[in-house]
């Protein structure tokens, strides 16, 4: 049982906290990078094509290149042109060139008759179908897709595989994009040991570090591992200073009211401006958020709670949207859906609450609360695939009530 709320402590609401994070998470300065590194990023320039596409009149079928106005029923085949070759001979009345898809059209030809519509009637002699041949049949004309100088993709476009293909076609090996945010990760606590190490009495493994690293990667950021920080002002000062070189610094632990919770003081001493500390959220109350601003750049600092479930919930609610915004994707808020409760639910209120739960049935979503002990119960969270969103007010919900859920 958690102690009753201390009403003397000011807590920021989840909505207000989201608004404050969104306000500070401005898109990063554009950078030129390799096209190969750009999928999923936001383009930061208008891109024009330097070439016509296709760059020549191109056969769109394997067949015979002919002049559409030529009435001769039979044609002498004068040469074969493969993709990558250049035709050497012009098509004249009574002749045709055997041509493969992708090859440049020979002079004098303006249509391709596919092989399957022709008949071999002698050595290098073919018969064409009775149906009239239209100019341009099965020919992709020069510049018909894109003209040189034309804008092919506008600034602020998200680079999906299709856009990458278009940029490759246009010969753009390097492009200007909003880069991925760099996110330094610093779990703190004297009790923490790294994953590969043996746990002695009184110690626990650092699960937040790997969890947050994976979460940053999944959210499109580049994680930077700062190791584990001890509850020691000097050590924290040194590690935090390094972390402030990144676009975002994620700390975990040391932000509550304990004697060795040194993170807020250390951040203030270094000059990180606190925007809010403690929010009306369960789990996740101790969250600390601040900004270090210099003339040319800024670092967003999140002091996440030490308890792994709290840390995860705060990441999903605040850090994930912030990373999206830094990468230029714009503010989206929390993307909630709805589901019907599989059983009754008693919510005692006090703080906005995000309860681990499992939803099923795409067509008519039903959600079941996952039993869990407290915000240190990471194992219970593994059974969840969403969080049921409950308000700060107390609620008695019947089975079948529709509630908002946040997918995780």
Which residues share a beta bridge with 59? 139
Pairing of strands 288-293, 58-59: unpaired
Residue 252 interface partner, choices ligand AMP, Mg ion, none, CB cut-off 5-8 Å depending on type: ligand AMP
Residue with smallest beta-carbon separation from ligand AMP = 306
Cα separation of 288 and 291, whole Å?
A: 11
Maximum alpha-carbon separation in the chain = 100
Taking CB under 6 A as the binding criterion, the range among 172-180, 201-209, 243-251, 271-279 that sits at the site for ligand AMP is 201-209
Q: 87-126 mask for ligand AMP (x: CB under 6 A)?
A: ----------------------------------------
- DSSP of 317-353: IIIHHHHHHHTT-------EEEEEESS-EEE--SSEE
With contact defined as beta carbons under 8 Å apart, do 279 and 17 qualify? yes
Cα 255 to Cα 82, 208, 252: the distances in Å are 69, 14, 8
Tell me if 256 contacts ligand AMP by CB under 6 A: yes
Q: 336-375 mask for ligand AMP (x: CB under 6 A)?
A: ----------------------------------------
Kindly state the number of chain residues that form the binding site for ligand AMP, as judged by CB under 6 A. 21
Tell me if 305 contacts Mg ion by CB under 5 A: no
Pairing of strands 281-282, 352-360: parallel
Burial grade of 234 (CB within 10 A; 0-12, 13-18, 19 or more): exposed
CB of 188 to ligand AMP, least distance (A): 7
Cα 272 to Cα 33, 77, 294, 341: the distances in Å are 30, 79, 10, 43
- Termini Cα distance of the chain: 26
- Both tokens assigned to 36: 């190969």
Tell me if 305 contacts ligand AMP by CB under 6 A: yes
Taking CB under 6 A as the binding criterion, the range among 15-23, 140-148, 249-257, 275-283 that sits at the site for ligand AMP is 249-257
Tell me if 327 contacts ligand AMP by CB under 6 A: no
Tell me if 283 contacts Mg ion by CB under 5 A: no
- Both tokens assigned to 20: 């404050």
Q: Which of 54, 87, 179, 189 binds ligand AMP (CB under 6 A)?
A: 189
Taking CB under 5 A as the binding criterion, the range among 18-26, 45-53, 124-132, 248-256 that sits at the site for Mg ion is 248-256
Q: Which of 253, 264, 283, 321 binds Mg ion (CB under 5 A)?
A: 253
Interface contacts to ligand AMP, rule CB under 6 A: 187, 189, 191-192, 204, 206-209, 252-256, 258, 261, 305-308, 376
């Amino acid at each position: 049982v958690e102690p009753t709320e201390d009403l003397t402590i000011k807590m920021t609401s989840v909505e207000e906290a989201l608004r404050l994070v969104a306000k500070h998470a401005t898109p990063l300065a554009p950078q030129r990078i390799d096209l190969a590194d750009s999928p999923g990023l936001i383009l930061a320039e208008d891109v024009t094509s330097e070439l016509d596409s296709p760059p020549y009149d191109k056969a769109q079928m394997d067949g015979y290149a002919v002049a559409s106005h030529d009435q001769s029923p039979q044609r002498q085949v004068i040469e074969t042109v493969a993709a990558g070759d250049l035709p050497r001979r012009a098509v004249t009345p009574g002749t045709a060139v055997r041509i493969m898809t992708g090859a440049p059209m020979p002079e004098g030809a303006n249509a391709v008759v596919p092989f399957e519509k022709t008949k071999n009637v002698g050595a290098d002699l073919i018969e064409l179908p009775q149906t009239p041949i239209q100019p341009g049949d099965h020919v992709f004309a020069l510049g018909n897709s894109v003209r040189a100088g034309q804008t092919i993709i506008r600034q602020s476009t998200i680079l999906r595989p299709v856009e990458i293909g278009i940029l490759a076609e246009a010969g753009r090996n390097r492009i200007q994009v909003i880069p991925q945010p760099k996110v330094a990760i610093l779990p703190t606590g004297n009790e923490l040991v790294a994953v590969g190490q043996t746990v002695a009495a009184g110690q626990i493994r650092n699960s937040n570090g790997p969890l947050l690293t994976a979460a940053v990667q999944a959210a499109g950021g580049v994680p930077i591992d700062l190791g584990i920080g001890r509850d020691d002002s000097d050590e924290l000062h040194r590690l935090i200073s390094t972390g402030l070189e990144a676009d975002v610094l994620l700390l975990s632990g040391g932000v509550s009211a304990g004697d060795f919770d040194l993170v807020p003081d250390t951040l203030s001493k270094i000059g990180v401006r606190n925007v809010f500390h403690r929010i009306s959220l369960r789990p996740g109350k101790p969250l600390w958020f601040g900004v270090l601003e210099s003339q040319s750049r800024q670092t967003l600092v999140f002091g996440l709670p030490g308890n792994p479930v709290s840390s995860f919930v705060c990441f999903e609610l605040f850090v994930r949207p912030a990373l999206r915004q830094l990468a230029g994707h714009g503010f989206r808020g929390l993307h909630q859906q709805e589901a019907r409760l599989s059983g009754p639910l008693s919510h005692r209120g006090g703080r906005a609450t995000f309860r681990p739960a499992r939803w099923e049935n795409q067509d008519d979503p039903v959600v079941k609360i996952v039993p869990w002990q407290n915000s240190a119960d990471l194992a219970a969270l593994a059974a969840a695939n969403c969080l049921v969103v409950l308000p700060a007010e107390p609620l008695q919900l019947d089975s079948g009530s529709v509630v908002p859920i946040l997918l995780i």
